[in-house]
Amino acid sequence: MFAVLLAGVVAVNVTVLRLNVQLDRAGLERTELRADIARLRSQLSSASATSRVDRLAQKELGLIQADADGMIFVRLDR
């Protein structure tokens, strides 16, 4: 009877140890994913910066900034 109880305690301890290892792996993966998200947010912010968009529009597409006199506003509520 004592051997069966001891085997049960060992089995429970092994199971708990395996679960702790899985939790540690999940925690590391979570930390890595959060770092990836922060890096991607930074890249997105840099890629969508107004100065970068203006520079690429001028350099690659030949676009220029419109002056105030050349702008026409169209009413869309009709």
pTM assigned to the model: 0.56
Both tokens assigned to 16: 């708990």
Q: Which residues of 21-36 are buried (b: 16+ CB within 10 A; e: fewer)?
A: eeeeeeeeeeeeeeee
What does the pLDDT average to over 33-38?
Answer: 98
Each domain of the chain, given as residue ranges in start order, spans 2-64
- Across all residues in the chain, what is the average pLDDT? 91
The whole-angstrom separation of Cα 55 and Cα 44 is 16
User: Which DSSP state fits 70?
Assistant: G
Q: Which residue has the higher pLDDT, 67 or 22?
A: 22
User: Which DSSP state fits 69?
Assistant: G
The whole-angstrom separation of Cα 48 and Cα 57 is 12
Taking the mean position of all CA atoms in its chain, how far away is CA 53? 22
The whole-angstrom separation of Cα 11 and Cα 48 is 55
